[in-house]
Structure 1
Amino acid sequence: MVNFNGKLYSKGESILGPNNRGLKYGDALFETARFVNGTIFFWEDHYFRLMASMRILRMEIPMEFTLEFLEEEIKRTVSKNNLEDKAVRVRLTIFRNDGGMYNPVTNEVSYVIDVSPLESPYYIINDGDYEVELFKDYFVNKDMLSNLKTSNKILNVVASVYAKENGYDNCLLINTDKQVVEVINGNLFLVKDGLVKTPSLDDGCLDGIIRKKLIEIIDSITDLEVIEESISPFELQKADELFITNSITGIQPISKYRKKMYDNIVSRSLLGKLNAKARLG
């Protein structure tokens, strides 16, 4: 079942028309989150990021769009899909209502909530091979729109096709200054001699929820230091570790970039702390 503006529809039913602005113009935002045992991991962070993003895109925030209202709609959708006892991937999509061309006729919005089961209730480390390559065909812009989780993800789609065609598990995306900013589906962290680096928001990376949580965690660890700073492609092969973060996977260590092989000691140590933080909300 899919929740469209509070009404539940089967996944086979048609609910969006040909004039949907998310389809025609990418005029949409989305949040993906984990739901486990009645709890949406880091829900407040997801909610406030969504509200801030809607303001930046000049979408009208409905009066009923409180944290509690959207949380209950997510829980109701999970329940109607008989997934209350499962780990669940939740996607909440917000789009401006139909009408207009580039200039919309309204700033009012609609929402869709869809859910699907996950294998594990908590984040786990994938110890398998995970190889990445630099994607150099197109670039991430260094601006605030790049920080938002919008449906304008054609660069990520093309990079995904490139990765699949060439046998890579993921691609590193670079900005217009040729600095590494993120991967196709999340943020990037680099570890070298106890220093953990992640690109700054000014570089154009996604303002990721797990990125934010890991920065908080690392800040509390005495033998690690975290900085938000540009990462040059030349630094990649000198690093001890590279890992990816997002709200569904948590932490994904990178095992190989070109001829360089990486450890996962720090990423593995951070995973338990991330799971503990998720349980606390």
Structure 2
Amino acid sequence: MINCNGNLSENTSCISISNRGFNYGDAVFETLKVSHSKVLFLEDHYFRLMASMRILRMEIPMNFTMEFLEEEIIKTLKANNLHERTARVKIIVNRVEGGLYTPLNHNVNYFITVNSLDQEFYSIVEEECVVDLFKDFYISPSLLSTLKTSNKATNIVASIYAKENDLDNCLLLNTEKSVIEATNGNIFLVKGNEIKTPPLSDGCLKGIFRSQIIEAIKKLPDYTLVETSISPFELQKADELFITNVIQGIRPITRYRKKTFKHAVAAELLNKINIKLRLS
């Protein structure tokens, strides 16, 4: 069952061929993890969604409160018998149809879809994760590149490139040739007692789990967080590399070219996140 503007539907007939998200990428989205009807990091997701809508000059409905969206999420989960399980939830907000590049108005539609997940809490994936750089296209750093919009052509092509070359992921570069993120998450680099992650000004996604990891790092007495540009040359010198997103949590990179990596720091950080979730 799909939630279309508050109405539950068994098919996608509620989505018009004239949908502006489909035609022009005039849409933003949030991907959330829900465990037994508890939306993880709800406040962070809500404020990022509101900020994204404002940046794209969408009209935010008066009823779009955090409580309203939480109720709509739970309603959709119950309709799909997932309210007592762990699920992946996607909220898409697009401007209503009408106009070409210039919209006729700024009102919005929203859609909520849900899918089941096997993993309740976060855990380190022990499977091999081999990555390389994607250099066919580059991300231009701007406020727009930090948002979760439906304009993700670079991520799509990079994901296809990874599959064609027997890679598990690719690392994206900005126009200054700095590493900014993976195709599906933010990137962190551990070297000695320093943990680096690219700043938002480099064009990386303003990730929800990125923020959680940054806060967790600040509580580690033996490590220092540095938000700074990461050169491709630093990757092979790192002790650890890992990717973060709100669904998987942390995915350690096991190999980049000829260099293999550990994941002790990643495991320690993920344990702190899980403790925080259990206590909240």
TM-score for both structures, normalised by structure 2: 0.99
Supply the distance in 2 between the matched residues of 1:131 and 1:109 (Cα, whole angstroms): 40
**Distance 1:229-1:246 versus aligned 2 partners, 3 A rule:** same
Cα deviation code 1:155-196 (max 9, x no counterpart): 100001100000000000000000000000010000000110
In structure 2, the residue matched to 1:173 is: 172
Instruction: Please report how far the alpha carbon of residue 13 of structure 1 lies from its aligned counterpart in structure 2 after TM superposition.
Output: 4.1
In structure 1, the residue matched to 2:135 is: 136
In structure 1, the residue matched to 2:98 is: 99
1:4 aligns with 2:14: no
In structure 2, the residue matched to 1:71 is: 70
Instruction: Please report how far the alpha carbon of residue 277 of structure 1 lies from its aligned counterpart in structure 2 after TM superposition.
Output: 2.4
In structure 1, the residue matched to 2:47 is: 48
Instruction: Please report how far the alpha carbon of residue 279 of structure 1 lies from its aligned counterpart in structure 2 after TM superposition.
Output: 3.5
Q: How does 1:80-91 map to 2 (within 5 A)?
A: 80-91=79-90
Supply the distance in 2 between the matched residues of 1:270 and 1:229 (Cα, whole angstroms): 20
Q: Which amino acid aligns with 2:4?
A: F
Supply the distance in 1 between the matched residues of 2:233 and 2:14 (Cα, whole angstroms): 48
Q: Which amino acid aligns with 2:217?
A: I
Instruction: Please report how far the alpha carbon of residue 276 of structure 1 lies from its aligned counterpart in structure 2 after TM superposition.
Output: 2.1
Supply the distance in 2 between the matched residues of 1:274 and 1:140 (Cα, whole angstroms): 30
Does the Cα contact within 8 Å between 2:93 and 2:108 map onto a contact in 1?
yes
Supply the distance in 2 between the matched residues of 1:137 and 1:154 (Cα, whole angstroms): 12
Q: Which amino acid aligns with 1:61?
A: I
User: Which SS does the other structure have where 1:202 is aligned?
Assistant: helix
In structure 2, the residue matched to 1:153 is: 152
Instruction: Please report how far the alpha carbon of residue 264 of structure 1 lies from its aligned counterpart in structure 2 after TM superposition.
Output: 0.4
In structure 2, the residue matched to 1:119 is: 118
Cα deviation code 1:94-141 (max 9, x no counterpart): 000000000000100010000000011111111111000100000011
| Structure 1 stretch displaced more, 119-128 or 167-176 | 119-128
Supply the distance in 2 between the matched residues of 1:34 and 1:276 (Cα, whole angstroms): 16
User: Which SS does the other structure have where 1:263 is aligned?
Assistant: coil
In structure 1, the residue matched to 2:254 is: 255
Q: Which amino acid aligns with 2:245?
A: N
Give the RMSD, CA atoms, in angstroms: 0.8
In structure 1, the residue matched to 2:21 is: 22
Supply the distance in 1 between the matched residues of 2:21 and 2:165 (Cα, whole angstroms): 30
Cα deviation code 1:31-78 (max 9, x no counterpart): 001100221000000000000111111000000000000000000000
Give the count of matched residue pairs.
280
Does the Cα contact within 8 Å between 1:242 and 1:262 map onto a contact in 2?
yes
Instruction: Please report how far the alpha carbon of residue 15 of structure 1 lies from its aligned counterpart in structure 2 after TM superposition.
Output: 1.6
Does the Cα contact within 8 Å between 1:41 and 1:279 map onto a contact in 2?
no
Q: Which runs of 5+ in 1 are unaligned?
A: none
Q: Which amino acid aligns with 2:117?
A: L
In structure 2, the residue matched to 1:110 is: 109
Supply the distance in 2 between the matched residues of 1:177 and 1:280 (Cα, whole angstroms): 42
Q: Which runs of 5+ in 2 are unaligned?
A: none
User: Which SS does the other structure have where 1:54 is aligned?
Assistant: helix
Does the Cα contact within 8 Å between 2:37 and 2:85 map onto a contact in 1?
no
Supply the distance in 1 between the matched residues of 2:279 and 2:138 (Cα, whole angstroms): 37
Q: Which amino acid aligns with 1:9?
A: S
TM-score for both structures, normalised by structure 1: 0.98
Supply the distance in 1 between the matched residues of 2:279 and 2:21 (Cα, whole angstroms): 34
Q: How does 1:234-253 map to 2 (within 5 A)?
A: 234-253=233-252
User: Which SS does the other structure have where 1:162 is aligned?
Assistant: helix
Instruction: Please report how far the alpha carbon of residue 280 of structure 1 lies from its aligned counterpart in structure 2 after TM superposition.
Output: 4.3
User: Which SS does the other structure have where 2:91 is aligned?
Assistant: strand
In structure 2, the residue matched to 1:37 is: 36
Does the Cα contact within 8 Å between 1:42 and 1:278 map onto a contact in 2?
no
Quick one: percent identity of the two aligned structures? 55
In structure 2, the residue matched to 1:275 is: 274
